[in-house]
Amino acid sequence: MAAGAHLAAVFLGADSRRAGETELVHAFRARALGSGAVAGALALAGLVVVRSDVPELYDDLTSGAGLACVLASAAAGLVTLWLEWRERFELARYSAAAAVGAIVAGWAVAQEPYLLPPDLTVHEAAAPDATLVALLVATGLGMLILIPALTWLFRLALSGRLVYEDKPRP
C-alpha cells in the first residue's frame, strides 16, 4: 500500500505540474517525499521480519540476483526522492516505477523455482501446453488493439491535446 501511495503521489505531482496547478504540485511533492520515506522504512522493516520468519527467502533476497534487485530498488527509490526534492517530476515517474518493478522482480527471483511455498514449482503449476498456446495467441491479438490505442491516448494526454471542456456538447 505504501508503494502504491508513493507511485500515486509521484504521478499526480507530474500531472499537476503539467496542468499548471501550483498548489497541487506542492501538495503532491510533499506527499511523494513522505510516502517515499515511509515505503523505504517499511521495506527495511520487512527485510527484518522476513529474516526471522522465512530465513530461506531472506537468504535469497540478500545474495545473488535477489540482492541486485533489492539494491536496484533502493537506488531507484533514493533517486526518486532526489528528483522529487529537485522538482523533476517527469523523471521521477520513471525511477519510481523502476523501484517498484525491482521489488516485484526481487520477490520473483528469490522465490525461484517455487511459485508459492512450500513445494509448488512454476513448472508444476503451469497449464497444459494447448492452454498456454491459446492464452499467448489471445494475448497477442489483444495487444494488437490495446497498444496502439493506449499509445494514442497517452500521446494526446501528455501533449495537452486531450482537452476537457466544462460544458457538454450538444
**Which of 112, 137, 141, 136 lies closest to 125, judged by CA?**
112
pTM, two decimal places = 0.69
Residue 45 DSSP one-character state: H
Calculate the CA 97 to chain-centre distance: 4
Between CA 99 and CA 114 the distance in angstroms is 23
Please state the length of the chain.
Answer: 170
Tens-place pLDDT, residues 93-150: 999 999 999 988 988 888 877 666 567 777 777 889 999 999 999 999 999 999 999 8
3-state secondary structure of 168: coil
pLDDT computed for residue 92 by the predictor: 94
Mean per-residue pLDDT for 71-90? 94
CB count within 10 Å of CB 65 equals: 15
Name the band, by pLDDT with cuts 50, 70 and 90, for residue 168.
low
Residue 21: the pLDDT is 87
d(CA 23, CA 116): 45
Q: Which three cell numbers stand for residue 147?
A: 497498444
- Average pLDDT (57-79) is 91
| Per-residue model confidence (pLDDT) at position 102 | 94
